[in-house]
């Protein structure tokens, strides 16, 4: 979708830090300090899932285990979900950690606000299943949701899952352009890992401010995922992909995280390609701070902004 001057949204929207949230982040930094740089392999799966389990449940959402396109996962079904639309979420965890079960409440919070049923995919994880297993699973789930008669699909994701969501967005768009599938209506991602070559300048400039991630930790995870494959391959690093004519994309990132530049560089490239892409930059926030919805004011606002964007894209697609 190429932007026109009247359609174009701003490249970046900055959100200030409140005193309340600043205090919460300070406490969070102290709490997770022992974990910094150590969530670097399958041994950390239990710890990672436990962290994500702390996201509160959204009222009125029902959770159902199931499989779509041969991939297991969990449906998050708000009681007021609209028929014919769906949200597909790719969870974070650097392609090594994370699960649909641990993410169900987080995705339920987004689905409830977007009034759309959401599916969290349990795509295969490294090192047991190397690249491109996660991509293959993401594409299978997307096709499976479309095959259920779904008319409109939006894609969401966080961290590595945010990068995977952007890979899927481009792949699904290309298939639809070739008349082989349903075109995605848009994507909203949080702190996406868009460049597995780890070339972003914020790996240095935000190294001390990020309370959890380090360049060394992500390098180890990338190696486990890619094995001998090229980190700059577009299916691994969406920053290197073809972005022309992609549907609208909204990205959210904090200023206290090493992946800050992965968002800003992706938005710059997307806009150069004519894509309606906007980065919401949250001052003082850390990696995927939205999982603290209910505790952080910024998390509540960010999830609400994302849900409004997703709802608009679903409605716009319907109107078209």
Catalytic residues: 159, 257, 287
Phi-psi group of 30: left, alpha or beta (phi > 0 → left; psi -120 to 50 → alpha; rest → beta): alpha
Residue 146's CB is within 10 A of a number of other CB atoms, namely 23
CA–CA separation, 234 vs 5, rounded Å?
A: 29
Q: Which one-letter DSSP state was computed for residue 68?
A: E
Residue of 224, 157, 223 lying closest to 193 (CA atoms): 157
Joined together, the tokens standing for residue 119 give 């599916």
Q: What is the DSSP string of 174-215?
A: HHHHTTSSPPP-EEEEES----TT---THHHHTTTT-SS--H
Joined together, the tokens standing for residue 276 give 């309606």
73 contacts 125 by C-beta, under 8 angstroms: no
Residue of 218, 93, 231, 246 lying closest to 158 (CA atoms): 93
Residue of 172, 4, 213, 174 lying closest to 90 (CA atoms): 172
Q: What is the dihedral angle through the alpha carbons of 159, 89, 187, 292, rounded to the nearest 10 degrees?
A: -60
CA–CA separation, 119 vs 111, rounded Å?
A: 9
């Amino acid at each position: 979708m190429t932007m026109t001057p009247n359609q174009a949204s701003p490249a970046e929207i900055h959100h200030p830090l409140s005193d309340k949230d600043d205090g919460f982040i300070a406490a969070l930094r102290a709490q997770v300090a022992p974990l910094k740089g150590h969530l670097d392999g399958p041994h950390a799966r239990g710890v990672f899932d436990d962290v994500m389990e702390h996201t509160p449940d959204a009222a009125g959402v029902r959770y159902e285990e199931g499989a779509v396109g041969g991939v297991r996962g969990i449906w998050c079904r708000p009681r007021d979900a609209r028929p014919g639309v769906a949200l597909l979420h790719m969870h974070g965890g650097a392609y090594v950690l994370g699960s649909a079960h641990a993410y169900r409440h987080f995705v339920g919070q987004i689905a409830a606000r977007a009034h759309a049923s959401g599916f969290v995919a349990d795509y295969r994880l490294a090192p047991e299943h190397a690249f491109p297993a996660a991509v293959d699973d993401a594409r299978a789930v997307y096709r499976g949701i479309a095959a259920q008669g779904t008319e409109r699909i939006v894609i969401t994701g966080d961290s590595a899952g945010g990068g995977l969501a952007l890979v899927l967005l481009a792949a699904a768009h290309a298939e639809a352009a070739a008349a082989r599938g349903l075109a995605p209506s848009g994507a909203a991602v949080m702190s996406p890992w868009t460049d597995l070559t780890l070339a972003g300048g914020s790996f240095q400039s935000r190294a001390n401010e990020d309370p959890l991630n380090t360049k060394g930790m992500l390098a180890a995870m990338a190696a486990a995922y890619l094995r001998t494959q090229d980190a700059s391959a577009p299916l691994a690093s969406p920053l290197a992909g073809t972005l022309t004519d992609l549907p609208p994309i909204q990205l959210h990132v904090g200023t206290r995280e090493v992946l800050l530049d992965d968002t800003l560089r992706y938005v710059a490239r997307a806009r150069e390609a004519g894509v309606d892409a906007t980065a919401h930059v949250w001052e003082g926030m850390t990696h995927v701070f939205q999982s603290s919805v209910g505790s952080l004011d910024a998390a509540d606002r960010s999830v609400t902004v994302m849900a409004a964007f997703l709802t608009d894209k679903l409605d716009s697609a319907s109107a078209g």
